[in-house]
Structure 1
Amino acid sequence: MIDHLISKEELERFKHFMHMKGIENLEVYSKGTTSLIFLGRLENKDVIIKLERRDAPRRNFQKEVKILRFLEGKGITPHLVDYGSFENREFLIREFAKGEPILYAIPEKKHLLKILEKMYKLDILGVDHGQIQGGKHIIIGTDVWVIDFEKASLKRKTKNLTSAMAMIFLNENSISRRVREKFEIGEEFLTTLQEKLQKYKETHDITELKELLSSL
């Protein structure tokens, strides 16, 4: 799967490097544009390890780490465990977000309310994620987590909440179709949601949006 991106010898060195940090059972989890992603165990917890690809078109780890540290303890994204360099390649380690991306899952009402709350927190904190509408970065399970902040910004105008609500309800995609079917959502609800979102843009008050989602 990743043989062309990291040699067996280099992979063994990386496994040993992680072992020295207390991480066991390292295995390939996935790959992204800028990183190779591994799953491991640290002190009886699952962790994700992102290792910079040698052919990465950009180096974003420092920016992502800055934002993860800024969000630490705010209940939005999993705990950042470590950040550093391995053979001139950046890596970061964070706790694993247990659950399934909303892209593939059917959310419960509690998930929708938590998404609303956490998107609102990001907006108020001034962090624009930048990839919310893809559906891969909102993880739903016993809780809701937002992951992968490599394209996030503290300078852009935030639109996390409006992007998430558009993805889940208003746009035409697999997520909105599943949600509309599950909750039997009609045009009246969607029209009201659009009105509440427009009002939110002006006031940054989510009270009416909470009430609307609670009615599902």
Structure 2
Amino acid sequence: MFEHLIPGAVLEEFSKDLERIGVGELSPLSKGTTSVVFRAKMGEKNVIIKLQRPDSPRSNFAREADIIRALEPFGITPPLVAYGKFGSLEYIIREFAEGEIILHADLKKRHLFEIVEKTALLDRLGLDHGQIQGGKHIIVGDRIFLIDFEKANWRKPKNLTSAVAMIFLSDNTISKRVREKFGIDVDFLERMKKEVRVYKNTGKVSGLLRVLSSL
């Protein structure tokens, strides 16, 4: 699947290199502008391996690994398993986030609360994810996880407001599905907009949680 990006012989050597640290059963999962991603096993754990593409315009895997480590105590993203180098290529191994991306997930009320709580926590930590509104970086399962912190940075955050806009206030596939499922009306959206403004001014999330409680 990735041989047009990385030669098969290189991928074979990479697989052998990972076997030395107990990682096996690699299968291609996806590709991006900077990396190719595999799913694999490490003992009983399902893991994700993100390997830098040789033609990548930038390399910030070490910074992403540091961010994942910093977030580990808070349960926002799956734990980092390893960061390393294979020749000149960097890679990250982290535990697999079980579930569906929010774009395809069947959202329940408890998921909405957890998304608000975890994005608000990211805001309090001062870390802006940077890609939340894309709909591919919130994983919905037994727990909510945010993934792929490649473009994240310690800057003025807008995680919660981005998530609320995507799920409720913008006009997109996710918001349309949520509005239909929960019978959301104009009054609910106006109350949500008001509490988003309060949050921006005060950092208080209680008003947003009260609005969600009315669903």
Pick the TM interval, shorter chain: over 0.9
1:150 deviates by 0.4
Query: 2:100 is matched with which residue?
Result: 100
Query: 2:10 is matched with which residue?
Result: 10
Structure 2 residue 164 is the aligned partner of structure 1 residue 165: yes
Structure 2 residue 22 is the aligned partner of structure 1 residue 22: yes
Aligned-partner residue type, residue 173 of structure 2: S
Query: 1:117 is matched with which residue?
Result: 117
Aligned-partner residue type, residue 101 of structure 1: I
Query: 1:50 is matched with which residue?
Result: 50
Q: Deviations over 1:63-96 (max 9, x none)?
A: 2112111111211000000001001100010000
Aligned-partner residue type, residue 50 of structure 1: K
Paired residues for 1:1-216 under 5 Å: 1-154=1-154, 156-216=155-215
1:8 deviates by 1.3
Cα distance between partner residues in 2 of 1:89 and 1:190: 47
Cα distance between partner residues in 2 of 1:86 and 1:201: 43
Helix, strand or coil for the counterpart of 1:98?
coil
Helix, strand or coil for the counterpart of 1:73?
helix
Aligned-residue Cα RMSD (Å) equals 0.7
Instruction: Structure 1 unaligned segments of length 5 or more: list them.
Output: none
Cα distance between partner residues in 2 of 1:208 and 1:43: 44
Aligned-partner residue type, residue 135 of structure 1: G
Helix, strand or coil for the counterpart of 1:72?
helix
Helix, strand or coil for the counterpart of 1:40?
strand
Aligned-partner residue type, residue 184 of structure 1: G
Helix, strand or coil for the counterpart of 1:4?
coil
1:106 deviates by 2.4
Give the conservation status (yes or no) of the 8 Å contact 1:106–1:178: no
Q: Deviations over 1:90-149 (max 9, x none)?
A: 001000000000011121001000000000000000000000000100000000000000
- TM-score, structure 2 normalization: 0.98
- TM-score, structure 1 normalization: 0.98
Cα distance between partner residues in 2 of 1:9 and 1:15: 10
Cα distance between partner residues in 1 of 2:55 and 2:186: 47
Cα distance between partner residues in 1 of 2:92 and 2:180: 39
Aligned-partner residue type, residue 18 of structure 1: L
Q: Where has structure 1 moved over 3 Å in runs of 4 or more?
A: none
